[in-house]
Structure 1
Amino acid sequence: MNNNIYINIIGLALTFLTISSCSDYLNQVPSDIVTLEKVYETRNGVLDNLATVYSSMPAEFEDRWTASGGANGTSGAWNAGCDDAEFIWDFNGAQNINNGSLNGETGFVYDYWNKWYKGIRAATSFIENIHICKVLEPGDLEQWIAEARAVRAIYYYYLLRLYGPVPIIENSISEQAPLSELNTPRNSVEEVVAYILSELDIAINNGLQVNIKQNSSETVTSADKGLGHIDQAIARVFKIQTRMLAASDLFNGTNDFYASLTNNDGKKLFPSYTQEQKRQLWENAATEARSFIDDYVGKGYDLTRKYTDGKLDPYLSYREAVRGATSELTNFSGTTSAAEMIWFNRQGNASTMHYNRTPKHFGYADGVRCSGGMAATQEAVDAYFMANGLKPISGYQSDEKTPIINSTSGYTEEGFSTEDYKDPVTGRVLAPKGVWNAWVNREPRFYADITFDGQKWLYTGSGDVYTGLQYTGNSGRGTGNANDYSKTGYVVRKSAPTTVWSNNDRVSIMLRMAQIYLDYAEALHESNPGSPDILKYLNLIRERAGIPQYGGGAGQLPIPANMRQAIRDERRVELAFENNRYFDLRRWCIAEESQGKAIHGMNINKNGEEFFVRTKVEDRYFEKKNYFFPLPLKDRTINKELVQNPGW
């Protein structure tokens, strides 16, 4: 194993994601501490070390700077590393994924591995040494050991998801340990999954708070017990995520490419389950998700719902669900994202994400003038439903560009709108008069997630701004900074600011309630396809989204014949640009269908009607080996027992 995995945590200066008030986070670990006794001398010193344990948790505000920048460099290449999006900048790590240049020597291949194992090391050291502190208050020891144990298990989850089965290291290894102690083989998928679940269960049953959202108003914001600490609810959500991985085709032995992967001693690393065993894995995931829903919905957790004039406002509800305003972290009423979000991270700068998702708007006020460098693909745009709940595009012709239009949906790519398209609930203008008809009469989530040519910008404090994405438009390739524009003629709008872009009063939402509903529906369909809960929880997502539900009632759409695809379609839209699709495509083992082909957009080198032509942006590369990252060369050079993933 990497000889950097277990060294003393003394002197590490890394920030924590918990809060001591609505917006004040723990200070950094002092840099002049030189002994373990000094580190654990005070209760605050223990909290600072717990901060170090948490500090490698992913935060996605800075995904432009893959595995670098702020937030301890844990931001991912996931949104632009799949068919959801494309960054303009060549330095973004997603380019390595998309063009096939990724390998075991790629910097961020090592960075994720190293940082999560550093987090594992820090957690183990914390668990082994917290007893040194003699001034802890009642309950501190049990709670904080349980948190460190849960965090360590979650780091293993992230490693498993990205690299496949990995070595489990349970004890501290000295920096001066002989090489023989560093030669640690990979554990099997079954062993890693069992370890994660077991460690989370131990933490749940031995110290984790039940539900921080139900704490007193003083405690919910405290540095030692409040938001940002892992509680039983968060640990249980990661049990769901782990079981979803274990049940999926990439991990359950279905993918033949990994069936023969063994350690040097011949130990198989992927399972050989029967169909009944695979079904049981899905049933376990469904049971885990249903148990969470039963125990927590209505107790600080629910889908965010906002109302206008007494009516559910789907557009605002969905936008609010992913906003994560720090100033509203303790408002669990159900009208803010605080109710829906389960796991979040304060690390990193929200303004970086805002900069990526706010168009160039050349010539306008600073508060609305940015880059728009995170482009949504045409394929992502096509995935959104129409206002009537139907899919506009059923597929593509052999050129993989020309859409096969669902004639019953009402979708058209002919002409331009002659009047404003208004929200049927509130009357707000969602698509101004004169925009391309392909962007009219779409579902509310489309208007919350996609900035298209001619759309009005969100922040109007310095006047109304309409985004121009044609070549000489205010945000087009031919205007202003040549390094800042959308490569597809669309900009990702989801989570973009309704204020000036530099507003940093945000947390990065990593897991929210909508995902758990979709996890439950998927797991239930794979294990018990006749269950009425499948439609119930799928329809809860669609109801909040403001589109017709499935069923046999008045105003409902016919129940889909292919329910698996319906669930996946809903998941793609609801969780778009939230770092999910990259991993969904892989765990379903269907990445070849979308990753190994071109992405498209508008013709950004043209103005007028010539702009509105589907145009190839780039070819994308995918081989079977790309289902997992390679293991980093640095560690394989040290650890001779660390076998490489196939194909690398």
Structure 2
Amino acid sequence: MKKIYIFTIATLLVLSNAGCKKFLDQVPNDRLTFDESFATKATVDQLLANVYSTLPDEMQQRFPANGYTAGPWTGASDEADYTLPSSFSNNLNSGNWDATTGQVNTMWQLYYRGIQASSNFMANVSKCTDCNLNGVDFISRYYNEARAIRAIYYYYLLRQYGPVILLGNEPIAADAPIETISKPRNSFDECVDYIVSELDAVTANLPAIPVSNDDYGHVNKAVAQAYKVQVLLTAASPLFNGNTDYANLKNKDGKQLISQTASAEKWKRAADAAKSFITTFPSFTLYVKTGTTPFLTAFLSCRDVMLTDWNSEVIFAKGNADITNLQYNMAPNHNNGTGGDKGGSFLSVSQQLVRAYFMANGRSTDDPLSGYSETGGFTSFQAPDDNAARQVSNMYVGREPRFYVGVTYTNRKWINPNSSLITSFEFNGNAGKGSISNTDYSGTGYTQRKNLSLSGWSTGGRTNIFIRLAEIYLDYIEALNESDPGNPDILIYLNKIRERAGVPQYGAGANALPIPADMRDAIRRERRVELAFESHRYFDTRRWKIAETTDKVILGLNIQKNAADGFYNVVTTESRVFDKKHYLWPIPNGEVQKVPLVVQNTGW
């Protein structure tokens, strides 16, 4: 790493803000001299938008690390099989990747470029001559936004690569000599402390929450503190908290990079941060959309929390995002459909996730009292967004509302209310393998439905959510259960999630379910379905150190068959490779070669 590439002014300048709540939707587009670029608020706004531009746009998971920091997280977790042959998630799942793989290097470089762009902006924003408007000091505000984003980029590196190199607070000159930039990796705890201290430092000079339409998409106090919760939860988790698998992960001077002693205090620190967020920002509330029945209310609430821009639950999002690629991946390839009703069927939901959703009675499908059956035949059932009852497999009957939000299954009415399409993934069905000449069919007999526009895949231009309140609640109770088991808040906030989801709560009431004996398992189960398809499961199974169990196979239905001859039989649709080294991505080989002080991750 003889020189660290820094965004030049040619790449720093971006389109001006095109309207309310579209701040993160700006892209580089213009050229000015260095002095001109920081002289006025108009161009400073454009430069700041570039600082934000490296945030991961997970709507682009079809093309991970292809000019974006989008990752392969859904298809590389046990949520789904990404059946598009060229998807990088298939390389991860087959073990066909290493420290020389292009995406490994691209993600690393993009985040460090974002860090350098942030530092460069911070060093020069004070040159603005008209950034104090109507009593608002935008120099200070924008400086602290960039400082927060820089810390957030370090967090994204940390959860993916483990301990990284902290570059310092000043931008590094493009012609800096090798001896000034040749640095070893900092320890994981040093990285965490730095990120948290930066996020704490910015809060005094940022608004608490958006105060006008133009503030949406900007980092504020709430956003910074929400990321702080994510950082501390990651640090407290088994992957980084006393993980002896990394006993030999040391710098060349012997410095231990991941602590070998588990600390309960780290869980407390995460729990305290989450509780502080909840009490400090009471304006965020779980989103509820009222329907004609309690079940329909739960369904609409859990569906539309992802579809309603800047609703009461959204803490941070990118406005006016291009979501058509993601939606095309989710939409079945209906041979009798057109336009937005005919997609690619690429995001094939796993049978494991189908099983993970609760029953309407609130019980897990592996509970003998749940009533769940994969071999029980068919029942006439009307889904909450359907206009008629249809014969469906009993495994889809009597499920909780989030199941119907999340999964498109055979004989389900298509999501577009103006369409009469009924989806079938059977071999000879309208989205089945038998009628498709290429690979654009579901590999499991299901596709993802959550986060899909009601008008089909071709309608875009809404928010791409980064963090919402339900995640903070789940972070809180996970950390609290590890640091203070039995604390009443665990049940309170777990039940808040279940109440909004329309399933019976845990407790002693007439309709309540028994309090789970294994609360850690209960919290993880709730998190899995509440945050499904939101790029959490990949990192959750890794920070919990369970991926070597969960990421071995993908189960689905037998798509080679029709219903009469075995379509609903559960089979292995994909075998996967997961070794202990895969818990972390390798440091790019080029970085290790250029800077000998940088040691490689264990096993690579």
What TM bracket, shorter-length normalisation? Answer: over 0.9
- Which residue among 251, 254, 263 is the counterpart of 1:266? 254
What is the deviation of 1:530? 1.3
After superposition, the CA RMSD in angstroms is 1.9
Deviation digits for residues 53-92 of structure 1, max 9, x if unmatched? 1110011111111112xxx512110011111111111211
Q: Does 1:221 align with 2:244?
A: no
Equivalents in 1 of 2:130, 2:383: separation in Å? 61
Partner of 2:303: 319
- Which residue among 53, 70, 74 is the counterpart of 2:69? 74
Give runs of aligned pairs for residues 309-388 of structure 1, distance below 5 A. 309=292, 311=294, 313-325=297-309, 329=310, 338-346=311-319, 349-388=322-361
3-state SS of paired residue (2:74): coil
Return closer, same or farther for 1:370/1:412 CA change in 2, 3 Å cut-off: same
- Which residue among 241, 247, 253 is the counterpart of 1:252? 241
Partner of 2:590: 634
Return closer, same or farther for 1:39/1:538 CA change in 2, 3 Å cut-off: same
Give runs of aligned pairs for residues 401-420 of structure 1, distance below 5 A. 406-420=367-381
Partner of 1:98: 93
Return closer, same or farther for 1:615/1:15 CA change in 2, 3 Å cut-off: farther
Q: How many residues align?
A: 598
3-state SS of paired residue (1:201): helix
- Which residue among 464, 468, 472 is the counterpart of 1:508? 464
Return closer, same or farther for 1:441/1:103 CA change in 2, 3 Å cut-off: same
Equivalents in 1 of 2:317, 2:483: separation in Å? 30
Equivalents in 2 of 1:639, 1:18: separation in Å? 40
- Using the size of structure 2 for normalisation, the TM-score is 0.95
Q: Which runs of 5+ in 1 are unaligned?
A: 330-337, 394-405
Return closer, same or farther for 1:27/1:532 CA change in 2, 3 Å cut-off: closer
- Which residue among 403, 407, 416 is the counterpart of 1:450? 407
What is the deviation of 1:19? 6.6
Contact map agreement 1:59 1:347 (CA 8 A) in 2: no
- Which residue among 56, 79, 85 is the counterpart of 1:84? 79
3-state SS of paired residue (1:73): coil
Return closer, same or farther for 1:430/1:383 CA change in 2, 3 Å cut-off: farther
Partner of 1:197: 196
Return closer, same or farther for 1:168/1:513 CA change in 2, 3 Å cut-off: same
Amino acid at match of 1:232: K
Equivalents in 2 of 1:467, 1:322: separation in Å? 22
Give runs of aligned pairs for residues 115-514 of structure 1, distance below 5 A. 115-137=110-132, 138-170=136-168, 171-205=170-204, 207-212=205-210, 215=211, 220-222=212-214, 226-253=215-242, 255-273=243-261, 278-297=263-282, 299=283, 301-309=284-292, 311=294, 313-325=297-309, 329=310, 338-346=311-319, 349-393=322-366, 406-421=367-382, 429=386, 432-461=389-418, 463-514=419-470
Percent identity at matched positions?
40
Equivalents in 1 of 2:489, 2:556: separation in Å? 37
Equivalents in 2 of 1:514, 1:19: separation in Å? 30
What is the deviation of 1:149? 0.4
- Using the size of structure 1 for normalisation, the TM-score is 0.89
Equivalents in 2 of 1:471, 1:627: separation in Å? 36
Tell me which stretches of 4 or more aligned residues in structure 1 moved more than 6 Å: 16-19
Amino acid at match of 2:559: I
Equivalents in 2 of 1:95, 1:526: separation in Å? 34
3-state SS of paired residue (1:441): coil
Return closer, same or farther for 1:431/1:643 CA change in 2, 3 Å cut-off: farther
Give runs of aligned pairs for residues 495-644 of structure 1, distance below 5 A. 495-595=451-551, 597-609=552-564, 610-644=566-600
Contact map agreement 1:388 1:548 (CA 8 A) in 2: yes
3-state SS of paired residue (1:308): coil
Amino acid at match of 1:102: W
3-state SS of paired residue (2:433): coil
Contact map agreement 2:9 2:31 (CA 8 A) in 1: no
Return closer, same or farther for 1:584/1:36 CA change in 2, 3 Å cut-off: same
Contact map agreement 1:302 1:339 (CA 8 A) in 2: yes
3-state SS of paired residue (2:248): coil
Q: Which runs of 5+ in 2 are unaligned?
A: none
Contact map agreement 1:15 1:26 (CA 8 A) in 2: no
Contact map agreement 1:377 1:601 (CA 8 A) in 2: yes
Equivalents in 1 of 2:541, 2:453: separation in Å? 29
Equivalents in 2 of 1:440, 1:478: separation in Å? 26
Contact map agreement 1:58 1:345 (CA 8 A) in 2: no
Equivalents in 2 of 1:612, 1:17: separation in Å? 52
Deviation digits for residues 210-246 of structure 1, max 9, x if unmatched? 111xx1xxxx222xxx101100000000110111011
3-state SS of paired residue (2:59): coil
What is the deviation of 1:495? 0.8
Return closer, same or farther for 1:190/1:467 CA change in 2, 3 Å cut-off: same
What is the deviation of 1:17? 11
Return closer, same or farther for 1:57/1:24 CA change in 2, 3 Å cut-off: closer
Partner of 1:397: none
Amino acid at match of 1:177: A
What is the deviation of 1:2? 6.2
Return closer, same or farther for 1:28/1:492 CA change in 2, 3 Å cut-off: closer
